[in-house]
Structure 1
């Protein structure tokens, strides 16, 4: 159903248009002040944390005392021993609370300051200052009490030998323990989408530390988060709110969303596990051994010596961990693997079936390597050095600790494989696998060849069997478990470099392949475009014909009677106006397209939609921002009488007196010399721009070639084309009900008023058609919309969109000298049109930065980084530029 026949009615939710002095940078400054008013506690808390820690460090340096929160141990916490001047456990408890605001070093301070800024700012915006502070303190105190109680119970249940092993564990809290409760309490008041995000990300960080780093204080952080969530739930219920999602949110995110995010979070935790395990000062936690297996911890010769000195499993594992910082290439291989697994988690988050399969392969490889190094190799070595039962028990415990997490993730992915439905082109898979295989063979061959030609570069002297057995260590970290006493050591600089190159080159290639595999890519289909080209004749909006242009992808309704055109960029499916085809399916199509985007892990953004589509989308939970104003002229009431029409009458009379005539035809039917002149004019126009010609909803010469598009050009008595316009049809049931202005070009030396003449003549022609053929007369003539011009009222809560709207205004001001959006906007107002706002609608406010990038990429697909300075320098219009030049 077209949106162009009557002026849009302003809804009660619409905000008033900002005053002129509140636009652009001044309005953005006001937005920042408003943000500070509602979020000031976060920056203040972060600043206090930084100042306090720096002050303590300065005091310690001046007094030659270096003490950190981690100096507290389990023994001092739960064993009643006191230093002189202290009162036993209570004094230790006070020191532990002091660790809530003291951190280990500058790097940790930066991370915690950012975390505190985000957490407290988010909580204050929802809870207010008083409730934020109250929930923070309550969560910290109750969480610390519960966590300490749990640790005390665990330690009391341990036998004497186990207690001796854990009594020296470092014990400290962190700023996260202090503020996590407020964040989880605030999540109870958020929408379903943000509630899931806050809790998933928050618990993922807490559990990652708990499972890998081994600090008993992480139990306190987890307890603080749970207490905060419980308190927030109670407060929400007292306010009459509920944990149940709103009606429009229930259908929006289903099981696909939950399964993908949960499994991706687990994979991401596994990815960062090695880093947490390496930097942690304690290791006796469920996944610390798994983390060390994925880090290049120690060679097997050292491990064998440690185990030979002490055959106890716990001692063997704990003592081996002290060697990890001495290993060459540990961090390089570990960080590369972390990045690769993080990209894999991103692929899982995006619902890529290939990412799920690769995750199964990699985690299955971890299980297989665990079996090889814990069972197969010891069996082979037992012929040389017998292994007693106690060491076998230690190896089996090691096998379970390293293999079980991967087994659990493999089973979870296999069971939920149907949730990963986004396919990757087979050609891309073949090329990626080929690149990885070639890299593996080339680097492995180079390592083996070098080793055989330089056997004395290793000790013991290298053999092919030893090199082959050592080869996996060139690619996989496999810390804690190595290749037994046959592990070789480099004795030359060249051999040291060659040892590190295979893994470095291999994992860089893997990273690139993963990025290419899991990025958004939709193949263009000529058949879909032809199908959409027919559907657009059944019905649509004034801009629907733009959906037939190149570079668009198409979603078709299950019935095939309606469709939506879109482009994918930066994880956003950006539509080209609203649905087209059968008007009766438009509302359903909007809903189903959102589901389609969710299945593909895209964030939908409905660009240049009109009021009817906006209202439907808002009922589905979307917000909206006005991004332009379409100008509508009603041909049946067209007239040029009155003072307001003086410029239009002058342009028409001047053109006629000079012998100018207008010709209505199609580009293909126009004479060859006319077509060549129009192409020349277009090229001349484009050369005057400091930036590439805009695309997306702005057509060029190629879009003129469609036989359904009308061409209206002005030609003088000498046969010189002075200007040209194109008009896109809007259909209903196969009949044209309106025409939309698209292409506008004129010569740099053409007479003033040439564009006014052409547009007025098109209106006169349509007015005459209304009088002669009332049954087939067009209902409207659209002058189209100037992008980012005429931004005014928005239909969402101003707090949600004010900053983005004002940022868009700044972009429009910046691009104005190059493209003249405002000039075009005011030029079209000469025709006394009826304004009709167009919007961009989106369900996820967190995707607004990506939506902005997607819009920029759609309009300027050819923009290069070298052209950005020219754009920023274009503060003055080019001398040749005229108001009516611009699209």
Structure 2
């Protein structure tokens, strides 16, 4: 693409054919998109608003009547009252209250979460099922799921002894809006593409199972059953309508690597949020509640520790710990930091990072080891003081299984599937990260031990080195359920309380930062790869393929080594620089294999600035496309400037000749030193006049001129002053140049009008003369390249998938127009009566469109700073009209 920002055409662009201004047209298009979205998703906002209004109305009514009871206050004892005396309660009334809990939530925070969930679920379901079937599947899932869930709870609890059954009866029992609508979402997933079907089900079941495993509210079983009922109903409806089997176009894309990574990452993410769910839950009786508390910041105070130490009944100690909420700020912060760190680790697993797999193995192995220490080693040490009875042994065994088994299962799963985590991290980054974590651990641990020995009276009992050393893991590991440990120090001063919290806070902050640096996308530049790519580009490629030889590009090479694709990684997107280059016979295969390469690295591929041939191949592989520009092609063999349409071009040529202007075709390195200095000066002058950074990616600058294969065409007057310059990139086929592509365009601020028209016309004339004199050696085309985001036309993909993004890109282009001149450059090139050729961005995953947009922006404006955004916004103001053909 031409360096749009480097040249503001000196002639007025062609007038717009439509009455609205560009900004008005862009916003009008988005307004139409919004209306279209509302037409097919209106039930979601309506349901969300109704949920909010109903809950607020009930809260106001309760407050006015001083009613503090809520439907969520029901217990299993009140729901299944067969153990109570007849007539003690109203079963029908309790059942109605249970149903009302599907729409009445516990508080403002829960209302915000459920409102967002309802908005997303109902909107997505309506788009796939329609309003009637969304309502039907919601009611079916809620009613059938509640019945199945309640029945399952009764069956499970009746299998227990009387004491356990009575404890279960006391559990708070409620449903939620998720129970009411989850069935519709799962039913709608059957009508989605394979990719979205998997995503919806994975995310939906992950949330449901996380609540069930770590909270244990019996209503969670109803929610899970409602999801299963909805999925079954959706499968039946899809089968009747012929949507049961995914198309072949969808099936090839995701392989085993993707599935394994996604599953293990989801499990790790559930484990990460487990402590939070266990702490905030009102039940605390899920299968993994104990595991959640073990990883939480829940620790006993002196009273709890004393009771556990004196009684030595692990069952009661565990029960007390599970229902004791320690809200100390430092401990909560430490728990949240661990959750964030583990979430980043799950992200690394999802992206296929081998280092993330190794770190997960270490952390889960550490959890297993600590479970053994606190459930086996420490009790054995304490048994020297007080014997351990049979009941305590059973309780400790149960605690060991509950805390160690989940981490052990995940650890084994990762070890068995290590081959699926193939993305490596540079050893230097690993060494620096491990060194930083190790140094932080030594410094913080040393500070804690030193303080404890210097101020032993700050703890009770008085601190000893052995006690401090035994207490040291508590400063870092947010472990709960440690009250059974007899040796437990307690702070008696404010400074000791602060010192207790600092090591863990500092340590986990450092770990979090290291994880971010470890698992972020990073590809090392390889000079040898760039040299190989530079050789391959001479075998074959598209009109813009020479841009792949520029700096900051990374390269994928085909197994045969005869073709390659240049790309840049940003925001999880592998953004290519046009299509494949090298052996044209491998281009189709290279596109497929590059997509698989991106899959193995957990990147979303985006093929940017590709032409129709590549687009057709990619669409056959399941990709969609958006037109992002229009390349202008001139055929040298048919070049001529006769006719009224060519008046401006003829005027520019004649004016330049009359003023003594000459054009020189050479290379930058072969040009005289004074010419090179003038061109550099022109470029720097242009940069100083811009408040925004210079664009990059497919827009070349001075550095790109230095390649000896790039031709430089500049205009110099009779006084030896360079007035303007252009660069031309070669396109090869089997080592022969078959075309030239315009890239660099800059001129002086006071250069004569029409200088760019003169240079481009002279290049066309030179190529035309070559066609006449040496037809066998003459190039086949001269490309004026394309202005980014200008000339956006119709898309080949489903308009519903891309319309909003296309209109948003149009607004961005309109906003940047005063600064970079995309559209004015587009109309300027049309003066040369070129043949338009659309260029596209192709992508396999519509969910990655926002990240693709960010990746494109980052590629073009890598130096954009937040302080420059106001200047970009100022460009919205209309520029003052210039006199004659002056600059904008």
TM over 0.5: yes
SS of equivalent residue, structure 1 residue 545: helix
* Within-5 A mapping of 1:63-102: 63-80=65-82, 88-102=90-104
* Equivalent in the alignment of 1:40: 42
* Equivalent in the alignment of 2:698: 697
Give yes or no for the alignment of 1:323 onto 2:324: yes
* Equivalent in the alignment of 2:11: none
2:536 and 2:563 in contact (8 A); partners too: yes
CA distance in 2, matches of 1:882, 1:341: 62
CA distance in 2, matches of 1:308, 1:377: 12
* Equivalent in the alignment of 1:491: 492
CA distance in 1, matches of 2:882, 2:387: 88
1:814 offset after TM fit, Å? 0.7
Higher alpha-carbon deviation: 38-47 or 244-253? 244-253
CA distance in 1, matches of 2:161, 2:436: 54
* Equivalent in the alignment of 2:469: 468
CA distance in 2, matches of 1:256, 1:753: 57
* Equivalent in the alignment of 1:251: 252
1:694 offset after TM fit, Å? 0.2
Render the CA deviation track for 1:510-566: whole Å, top value 9, x for unaligned.
000000000000000000000000000000000000000000000000000000000
CA distance in 2, matches of 1:288, 1:200: 22
1:522 and 1:568 in contact (8 A); partners too: yes
**Unaligned stretches of 5+ residues in structure 1:** 1-16
SS of equivalent residue, structure 1 residue 685: helix
* Equivalent in the alignment of 1:112: 114
CA distance in 2, matches of 1:885, 1:134: 66
Render the CA deviation track for 1:835-855: whole Å, top value 9, x for unaligned.
100000000010010000000
2:149 and 2:221 in contact (8 A); partners too: yes
Cα gap change, 1:794/1:328 in structure 2, threshold over 3 Å: closer, same or farther? closer
CA distance in 1, matches of 2:884, 2:744: 14
1:34 offset after TM fit, Å? 0.6
Cα gap change, 1:824/1:751 in structure 2, threshold over 3 Å: closer, same or farther? same
Cα gap change, 1:66/1:705 in structure 2, threshold over 3 Å: closer, same or farther? same
* Equivalent in the alignment of 1:515: 516
* Equivalent in the alignment of 2:715: 714
* Equivalent in the alignment of 2:298: 297
1:820 and 1:886 in contact (8 A); partners too: no
* Equivalent in the alignment of 1:53: 55
1:686 offset after TM fit, Å? 1.3
1:881 offset after TM fit, Å? 8.9
Cα gap change, 1:308/1:197 in structure 2, threshold over 3 Å: closer, same or farther? same
* Within-5 A mapping of 1:230-249: 230-242=232-244, 244-249=245-250
1:298 offset after TM fit, Å? 2.0
* Equivalent in the alignment of 2:271: 270
Cα gap change, 1:886/1:560 in structure 2, threshold over 3 Å: closer, same or farther? farther
SS of equivalent residue, structure 1 residue 113: helix
CA distance in 2, matches of 1:683, 1:355: 45
SS of equivalent residue, structure 2 residue 435: helix
* Equivalent in the alignment of 2:769: 768
Cα gap change, 1:248/1:391 in structure 2, threshold over 3 Å: closer, same or farther? same
* Equivalent in the alignment of 1:863: 864
1:491 offset after TM fit, Å? 0.8
* Equivalent in the alignment of 1:373: 374
* Equivalent in the alignment of 1:6: none
CA distance in 2, matches of 1:86, 1:809: 68
CA distance in 2, matches of 1:312, 1:496: 29
SS of equivalent residue, structure 2 residue 254: coil
CA distance in 1, matches of 2:640, 2:294: 81
1:880 offset after TM fit, Å? 10
* Equivalent in the alignment of 1:542: 543
Render the CA deviation track for 1:480-523: whole Å, top value 9, x for unaligned.
12572221111111111111100000000000000000000000
1:875 offset after TM fit, Å? 2.2
2:214 and 2:288 in contact (8 A); partners too: yes
1:300 and 1:483 in contact (8 A); partners too: no
Number of corresponding residues: 870
1:301 and 1:484 in contact (8 A); partners too: no
1:94 offset after TM fit, Å? 1.3
1:329 offset after TM fit, Å? 2.7
* Equivalent in the alignment of 1:171: 173
Normalised to the residue count of structure 2, the TM-score between the two structures is: 0.96
Give yes or no for the alignment of 1:759 onto 2:760: yes
1:723 and 1:747 in contact (8 A); partners too: yes
* Equivalent in the alignment of 1:3: none
> How large is the RMSD of aligned CA atoms in angstroms?
1.9
* Equivalent in the alignment of 1:62: 64
Higher alpha-carbon deviation: 56-65 or 179-188? 56-65
Cα gap change, 1:455/1:539 in structure 2, threshold over 3 Å: closer, same or farther? same
1:324 offset after TM fit, Å? 2.5
Give yes or no for the alignment of 1:418 onto 2:411: no
Render the CA deviation track for 1:571-607: whole Å, top value 9, x for unaligned.
0000000000000100000000000000000000000
* Equivalent in the alignment of 2:525: 524
1:82 and 1:89 in contact (8 A); partners too: no
CA distance in 1, matches of 2:127, 2:108: 29
Cα gap change, 1:99/1:143 in structure 2, threshold over 3 Å: closer, same or farther? same
* Within-5 A mapping of 1:218-233: 218-233=220-235
1:23 offset after TM fit, Å? 3.4
Higher alpha-carbon deviation: 547-556 or 389-398? 389-398
Cα gap change, 1:730/1:18 in structure 2, threshold over 3 Å: closer, same or farther? farther
Give yes or no for the alignment of 1:347 onto 2:348: yes
CA distance in 2, matches of 1:402, 1:299: 18
* Within-5 A mapping of 1:174-185: 174-185=176-187
* Equivalent in the alignment of 1:802: 803
Cα gap change, 1:884/1:143 in structure 2, threshold over 3 Å: closer, same or farther? farther
Render the CA deviation track for 1:624-661: whole Å, top value 9, x for unaligned.
00000000000000000000000000000000000000
Render the CA deviation track for 1:440-492: whole Å, top value 9, x for unaligned.
00000000111111111111111111111111111011101257222111111
2:309 and 2:486 in contact (8 A); partners too: no
CA distance in 1, matches of 2:671, 2:886: 22
1:383 offset after TM fit, Å? 1.3
* Equivalent in the alignment of 2:401: 400
Render the CA deviation track for 1:667-701: whole Å, top value 9, x for unaligned.
00000000000000011111121210000000000
Higher alpha-carbon deviation: 198-207 or 476-485? 476-485
1:386 offset after TM fit, Å? 2.0
* Equivalent in the alignment of 1:12: none
Give yes or no for the alignment of 1:440 onto 2:441: yes
* Equivalent in the alignment of 2:6: none
Cα gap change, 1:456/1:87 in structure 2, threshold over 3 Å: closer, same or farther? closer
Normalised to the residue count of structure 1, the TM-score between the two structures is: 0.96
CA distance in 1, matches of 2:711, 2:242: 59
1:24 and 1:810 in contact (8 A); partners too: yes
CA distance in 2, matches of 1:178, 1:254: 34
SS of equivalent residue, structure 1 residue 23: helix
2:300 and 2:326 in contact (8 A); partners too: no
SS of equivalent residue, structure 2 residue 186: helix
* Equivalent in the alignment of 1:566: 567
Higher alpha-carbon deviation: 316-325 or 296-305? 296-305
SS of equivalent residue, structure 2 residue 679: helix
CA distance in 2, matches of 1:154, 1:483: 30
Give yes or no for the alignment of 1:458 onto 2:459: yes
2:753 and 2:886 in contact (8 A); partners too: no
CA distance in 2, matches of 1:886, 1:823: 11
SS of equivalent residue, structure 1 residue 486: coil
CA distance in 2, matches of 1:451, 1:313: 30
2:364 and 2:411 in contact (8 A); partners too: yes
* Equivalent in the alignment of 1:4: none
* Equivalent in the alignment of 2:831: 830
2:78 and 2:89 in contact (8 A); partners too: no
Q: Which has the higher contact order (CA 8 A, sep 6+)?
A: 2
Give yes or no for the alignment of 1:409 onto 2:422: no
CA distance in 2, matches of 1:796, 1:335: 43
1:240 offset after TM fit, Å? 1.4
Higher alpha-carbon deviation: 868-877 or 114-123? 868-877
**Unaligned stretches of 5+ residues in structure 2:** 1-16
* Equivalent in the alignment of 1:29: 31
CA distance in 1, matches of 2:861, 2:829: 23
Cα gap change, 1:654/1:86 in structure 2, threshold over 3 Å: closer, same or farther? farther
